[in-house]
Amino acid sequence: MSERYFRSEAFLKARFDTLHRQLGFRAATLDAWQVWRQELRATLRQLTGLERMVPVAPHPRVTETVQCEGYRRERVEIDTEPGVTMPMYVLIPDGLHCPAPAVIAAHGHDSGGKISPAGVIDIPGVAERVRTYNYDYGVKAAQRGFVLFCPDARGFGERRESFSAGPDKLFNSSCAQLAHMAIPLGLTVVGMWVWDLQRLIDYAQARPECQGRKVGAIGLSGGGLQTLWLAALDDRIACAVVSGYFYGMKDSLLELSNNCECNYVPRLWEKIDMGDLGALVAPRPLLIEAGLRDPLNGARGIDNVKEQVDIARRAYELVHAPAAIELSTFDGPHMWHGVRAWSWLDMWLKG
């Protein structure tokens, strides 16, 4: 066999450059921003399959209640589509006498789903992941007085599909299997995740602990993906913290094309980059955390992140909310940092 390879990478990178960001944020007036926002959201709903999702009554049921240090943990199930159930942990601070802001703590990969953000460290392997990624951000937020909702995304935890089932695969995910089943049906993993989180907002706002209060969203890595997309497409998210997931798609998803299938939406790169998703969040508060040594930033590192933040920042400046977007960097790897996140949530959700 020859050592020569006839690869397509160079062609696909060139195609990316030619077709990239046809619907990217370029508005110069508030009216143009409103038109762009409406058009792009409609396009993203179509590309992700959100418009094809099937509504169903949630039928919430509490299956377990455990008293923890400073909060009560409930295991809850809701239905999100016919025959599709989302289990979650709800963390309710002790001594809560009036409604408090709700926060959705979305998990990423290597988490076991909800168990890591919810800090269920009696399950083998969770304590290690909490130490490695600072993964129990759901617990930390509950201890600050927020009502936390820590769900299993489709393909994780109790929602793993058949190829990832079994106790020995707890920290695996079913993203590949879900993508392979969904994309030929006009659906995507991202679309299913956003739909489920929107149904979770419905449920959170109906609970007496949260009625009439703001809803925030936080997440690391794949949880940052969920948080970013949810905030971009649903104005009910009043404040968002995206950690380890805000970078240029060419560097981090095309050139690092062995990333998880959940990142990939047909024709997405023709339309936007990640900064444009951030621009859709404006004027609502958006904090972006990025580790300077996070390999997912791509070969150019933090510059790849800053370029996308600059795209989003232009939208915040246009709508007269420049203080509502912030990039918080830290000298660390791919992990939840949280140092700025807690004061950010306090300021924008409790204020």
Question: Is residue 128 assigned to a domain?
Answer: yes
> What are the structure tokens assigned to 239, written together?
């404040």
- 323 with 302: CB under 8 angstroms? no
Q: Is residue 5 part of a domain?
A: no
Over residues 238-282, the pLDDT tens digits come to: 999 999 999 999 999 999 999 999 999 999 999 999 999 999 999
- Report yes or no on 267 lying in a domain: yes
Q: With DSSP H G I counted as helix, E B as strand and the rest as coil, what are the percentages for the chain, rounded to 5?
A: 45, 20, 35
DSSP state of 94: T
Structural domain boundaries enclosing 227? 13-350
The answer to whether position 1 is within a domain reads no
Q: Give me the pLDDT at residue 351, please.
A: 78
The pLDDT, as a whole number, for residue 235 is 98
Q: Please check whether residue 3 lies inside any domain of the structure.
A: no
- Give the pLDDT score at 277: 98
Q: Give me the residue label for tokens 């449920």.
A: 203
* Count of CB atoms situated within 10 Å of the CB of 331: 8
Q: In the prediction, which pLDDT does 60 show?
A: 98
Indicate whether 40 belongs to any domain: yes
Specify the CATH number for the domain of residue 176: 3.40.50.1820
State the Cα angle at 224 between 222 and 230, rounded to 5°.
105
* Rounded distance between C-alpha atoms, residue 222 and residue 235, angstroms: 20
Burial class (CB in 10 A: 0-12, 13-18, 19+), 16: middle
pLDDT value of residue 55: 98
H or E element, residue 200: helix 189-206
Say how far apart CA 116 and CA 138 lie, in whole Å.
8
DSSP lists the bridge partners of residue 73 as: 66, 91
Question: CA 54, CA 260: separation in Å to the nearest integer?
Answer: 25
Indicate whether 239 belongs to any domain: yes
> pLDDT below 70 — which residues of the chain?
1
CA distance 155 to 176: 9
Domains of the chain: total: 1
The DSSP-derived string for 95-164 is T--S---EEEEE--SSS-GGGTTTT-TTSTTHHHHHHHH---HHHHHHTTTPEEEEEPPTTSGGG--GGG
In this prediction, residue 2 carries a pLDDT of: 75
In a domain, 231, yes or no: yes
pTM (two decimals): 0.97
For the stretch 314-330, pLDDT in tens is 999 999 999 999 999 99
pLDDT at residue 28 in the model: 98
Task: Say how far apart CA 44 and CA 213 lie, in whole Å.
Answer: 28
